[in-house]
């Protein structure tokens, strides 16, 4: 049952950026909006008015103003936004140049390292000057094979300041995973640390980098950041490698100038997970990412200059890009590199107390694991600064919602958010002036015309359907790399409903405007021809302490589909008949008889992508004896072997 868990006070509402924005809309358009649903409806009915108003509200730094908000509001995809505007993404993230802390960095080992906005600007400008002197120009690709450290942010900002294009992979990617990505876009320069630390162990990166650059002929230089060793061995790279400090040694920030680009010029190349073949390379615009991230930070997350914002992420996940954009608000962003449970489950909360984190972002899987660990952060740490918790990556269970309010903090805005790498942002997310209900994302994003469609393209309310967006938005990819006829782009989003973005999530929108995510629509189950979401089954498993993890798929069986549930048990537990009965009873009672699995099978591990998402489709392929094309996109590809030739799947 859905219950209200939190509601902001009137005083808190009036202090939010969202409230100020609504007042600006009221003044400018002679409205009397008092609630989020009213301003949301206005934002999708008057999309150009919304984005132009937010442009003014966000105080975007530009060199030349726009002449037109959008060339054609009915053009989907390939609409052009803020035509005529000239700006620089990095300049907007470096608008503050004072002694306020811009970045706080914590690794598994050593003290917190901080960088002020003044120091950040100076270092970025020195690196940008060196890159420009080297010959980097707008449109060149620069890539990072980096841990989540300040130099990664610095390298991205320097790249963007010159109008070049940034892409990144985290150092836990294997050689083939990196080649599948960087090999397609042919970068000119690669930034790499000499290694990283995970679970207390130093792990080398240079051996992989030296192999990678031999197979990508476009790479002219590798810039190495010492992280494990003050003097890393560069001999395998011959003349191609140099140390970061040596590269910038001869430059000063005095002669630095930002390169002004069109709003729709490229900034990032983001990659799909690549579990069904080569990763798709999605090109995103500087202006589109900037204005969308500003909207999500300022309005939906209520970030202010005195905030300290953290998101647990790697540089291979779009939440890293999202977090770094927090610099545009003047807040302090917190980078963490390492395992969030090493040496124990308290590590991130100890950091939250030390750094006075006010906005704490993580994944639903982390919250579930934290709950199973038995930790109560609210009792063990001073979290008085904490005002917002963000969760994404997969649907947050009802138990996860309750755990946050019972064991972390009762007076906190818990925002479950959902979007994708494709848009580098959210379709549904937080609303700081609205209540939080169990299992629900608070609202659809302003300016995002999100609906749930049935199979015939009819909009649904209080019923499950496909997540679609029926109007363009600024952060849509401007194109896919190496896709001149846009075939890959159209196939990814527009083949199902022409002219409508079909995202691939199975959702329900209720009469309050709240959104429930039921999982990926291509992984939904169809027993008896009725579509049900995998999240509804996962939710029921949260209550079983014997279960560490699980994955559910549909098996083709006798001209129908039957539900198969695989569970990973906590060490020392066994899958008894009683546990099976308890699981079945819980699913039947709290979901429906259709959700009850035909088989419950114990497996030693569950496969995940490098971005920590369950690969239901890959497991489904394995049990149907179909090839999984790109196992290098998986964090633990060896886990797939457990799903081959399971005798129980051949039985009634």
Mean pLDDT on 593-597: 88
Q: Tell me: pLDDT of 276 over 80.
A: no
Q: From CA 226, how far away is CA 169, in angstroms rounded?
A: 18
Spatial neighbors of 617 by CB under 8 A, at least 6 apart, are 275, 276, 520, 522, 523
SS3 185: helix
Q: Which two tokens stand for residue 64?
A: 């030349």
Spatial neighbors of 365 by CB under 8 A, at least 6 apart, are 393, 394, 612
Closest CA to 576 of 536, 614, 544: 544
Phi–psi pair at 441, nearest 5 degrees: -80, 135
The sign of the dihedral angle between the CA atoms of 301, 304, 307, 311 is positive
Mean pLDDT on 311-335: 96
Closest CA to 94 of 69, 137, 138, 127: 127
Dump pLDDT digits (tens) for 355-386.
Answer: 999 999 999 889 988 998 999 999 999 999 99
DSSP string of 594-642, one letter each residue? GGS-SEEEE-S---BBTTS-B-HHHHHHHHTT---S-GGGBS-GGGGGG
pLDDT of residue 626: 87
pLDDT of residue 13: 98
pLDDT of residue 612: 72
pTM: 0.89
Say if residues 540 and 586 touch (Cβ distance below 8 Å): yes
Beta strand segments in 188-301, E: 189-193, 195-198, 201-204, 221-225, 241-243, 261-262, 266-271, 281-285
Mean pLDDT on 577-582: 94
Cis omega (within 30 of 0) on the bond before 226? Answer: no
Least confident among 21-25, 95-99, 334-338, 528-532:
528-532
Report the b/e string of 604-618 with b at 16+ CB within 10 A. ebbbbbbbbbbbbbb
pLDDT of residue 593: 85
SS3 72: coil
Closest CA to 465 of 406, 510, 409, 433: 510
Percent of the chain with pLDDT over 70: 99
Q: From CA 305, how far away is CA 371, in angstroms rounded?
A: 31
The upper half-sphere exposure of residue 20, i.e. CA atoms within 13 Å in the direction of its Cβ, equals 14
Q: Tell me: pLDDT of 394 over 90.
A: no
Spatial neighbors of 194 by CB under 8 A, at least 6 apart, are 204, 205, 206, 224, 225, 226, 227, 228, 229, 232
Residue 389 bridge partners (DSSP): 360, 414
Residue 104 DSSP one-character state: E
Closest CA to 153 of 88, 76, 66, 93: 93
Dump pLDDT digits (tens) for 5-63.
Answer: 999 999 999 999 999 999 999 999 999 999 999 999 999 999 999 999 999 999 999 99
pLDDT of residue 592: 81
Between 260 and 631, residue with greater pLDDT: 260
Q: What mean pLDDT, rounded, does the chain reach? A: 93
Measured N-to-C along each axis, helices 47-58 and 17-29 cross at an angle, to the nearest 10 degrees, of: 120
Say if residues 450 and 461 touch (Cβ distance below 8 Å): no
Between 291 and 629, residue with greater pLDDT: 291
Cis omega (within 30 of 0) on the bond before 343? Answer: yes
Q: Tell me: pLDDT of 611 over 80.
A: no
pLDDT of residue 275: 62
Dump pLDDT digits (tens) for 211-256.
Answer: 999 999 999 999 999 999 999 989 888 789 999 999 999 887 767 8
């Amino acid at each position: 049952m859905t219950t209200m868990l939190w509601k902001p006070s009137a005083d808190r509402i009036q202090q939010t950026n969202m409230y100020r924005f609504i007042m600006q809309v009221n003044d400018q358009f002679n409205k009397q909006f008092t609630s989020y649903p009213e301003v949301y409806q206005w934002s999708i009915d008057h999309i150009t008015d919304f984005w132009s108003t937010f442009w003014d509200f966000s105080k975007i730094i530009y060199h030349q103003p726009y002449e037109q908000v959008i060339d054609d509001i009915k053009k989907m995809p390939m609409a052009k936004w803020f035509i005529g505007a000239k700006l620089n993404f990095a300049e907007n993230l470096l608008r503050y140049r004072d002694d306020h802390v811009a970045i706080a960095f914590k690794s598994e080992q050593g003290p917190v390292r901080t960088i002020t906005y003044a120091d950040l600007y100076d270092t970025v400008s020195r690196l940008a000057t060196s890159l420009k002197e080297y010959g980097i120009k707008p449109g060149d690709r620069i890539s990072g094979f980096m841990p989540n450290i300040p130099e990664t942010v610095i390298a991205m900002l320097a790249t963007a300041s010159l109008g070049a294009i940034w892409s990144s992979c985290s150092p836990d990617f294997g050689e083939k995973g990196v080649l599948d990505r960087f090999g397609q876009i042919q970068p000119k320069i690669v930034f790499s640390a000499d290694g990283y630390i995970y679970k207390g162990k130093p792990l080398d990166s240079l051996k992989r980098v030296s192999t990678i650059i031999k197979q990508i002929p476009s790479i002219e230089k590798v810039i190495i950041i010492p992280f494990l060793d003050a003097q890393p061995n560069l001999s395998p790279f011959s003349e191609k490698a140099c140390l970061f400090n040596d590269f910038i040694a001869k430059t000063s920030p005095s002669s630095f100038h930002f390169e002004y680009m069109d709003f729709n010029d490229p900034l990032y190349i983001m990659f799909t997970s690549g579990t069904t073949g080569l990763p798709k390379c999605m090109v995103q615009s500087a202006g589109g990412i900037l204005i969308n991230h500003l909207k999500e930070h300022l309005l939906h997350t209520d970030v202010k200059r005195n905030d300290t914002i953290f998101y647990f992420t790697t540089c291979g996940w779009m939440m890293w890009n999202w977090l770094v954009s927090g610099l545009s608000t003047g807040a302090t962003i917190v980078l963490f590199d390492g395992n969030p449970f090493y040496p124990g489950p308290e590590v991130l909360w100890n950091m939250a107390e030390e750094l006075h984190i006010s906005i704490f972002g993580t994944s639903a899987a982390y919250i579930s694991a934290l709950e199973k660990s038995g930790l109560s952060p609210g009792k063990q740490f001073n979290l008085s600064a904490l005002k917002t918790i963000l969760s994404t990556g997969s649907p947050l269970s009802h138990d996860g919602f309750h755990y946050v309010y019972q064991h972390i903090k009762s007076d906190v805005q818990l925002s479950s958010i959902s979007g994708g790498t494709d848009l580098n942002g959210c379709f549904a997310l937080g609303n700081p002036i609205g209540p939080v209900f169990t299992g629900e994302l608070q609202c659809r994003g302003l300016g995002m015309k999100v609906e749930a469609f049935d199979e015939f393209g009819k909009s649904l309310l209080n019923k499950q359907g496909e997540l679609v967006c029926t109007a363009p938005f600024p952060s849509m990819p401007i194109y896919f790399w190496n896709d001149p006829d846009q075939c890959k782009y159209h196939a990814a989003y527009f083949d199902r409903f022409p002219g409508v973005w079909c995202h691939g999530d199975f959702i329900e929108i209720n009469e309050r405007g709240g959104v429930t995510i039921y999982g990926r629509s291509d992984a939904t189950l169809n027993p008896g021809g009725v579509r049900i979401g995998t999240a509804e089954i996962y939710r029921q498993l949260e209550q079983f302490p014997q279960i560490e993890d699980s994955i559910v798929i549909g098996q083709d069986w006798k001209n129908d589909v039957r539900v198969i549930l695989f569970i990973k048990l906590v060490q020392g537990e066994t899958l008894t008949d009683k546990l099976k009965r308890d699981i079945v009873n819980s699913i039947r009672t709290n979901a429906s008889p259709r959700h009850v699995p035909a088989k419950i099978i114990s497996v030693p591990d569950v496969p995940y992508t490098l971005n920590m998402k369950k690969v239901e489709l890959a497991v489904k392929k394995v049990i149907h004896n179909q090839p999984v094309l790109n196992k290098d996109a998986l964090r633990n590809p060896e886990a797939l072997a457990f799903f081959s030739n399971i005798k129980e799947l051949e039985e009634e």
